[in-house]
Amino acid sequence: MGAALLAAILVLVVVVTMAPTVDERFTSSARSMEAVARSLGEGDELEEQTIGNLTFEKVYREDGLVYFQQGRGWLGDRAYGYVWSPQIQPRDVEHVEGPWYMYTGLED
């Protein structure tokens, strides 16, 4: 019994430590996300999308920016995710790389 438990714990540790980080999943998904961003027209919205290695509740273009919303805060009133903006740096975001920014706390 003890050996089986130890083996299960070791397998769990290996799975968790070998899983790609959020940064790695973003990096491997950015090219596909950009293709989607370029294809959306103003006001377009996609629901529940998996793009590359990331899943989004919705993807939408608003005021020239494309938001890749991953979820909402625990109260459900503030969204978070990535925003694609090749022309300007949006307000209240953290730069990730190139035209990509991360947002948290965007009010709906």
pTM: 0.76
Dist CA 92 CA 53 (whole Å): 25
Q: Name residues whose C-beta falls within 8 Å of residue 39's C-beta, 6 or more positions apart in sequence.
A: none
* Whole-number pLDDT of residue 11: 54
Dist CA 67 CA 28 (whole Å): 18
Question: CA distances (Å), 97 to each of 61, 93, 94, in order?
Answer: 19, 12, 9
CA angle 73, 77, 82 (to 5 degrees): 60
- Mean pLDDT, the chain, rounded, equals 84
What is the per-residue pLDDT across 77-94, written as a single tens digit (0 to 9) for each? Answer: 788 999 999 999 998 999
Give the residue extent of every domain in the chain. 21-107
Q: How confident is the model at residue 107 (pLDDT cuts 50, 70, 90)?
A: low
Q: How confident is the model at residue 108 (pLDDT cuts 50, 70, 90)?
A: low
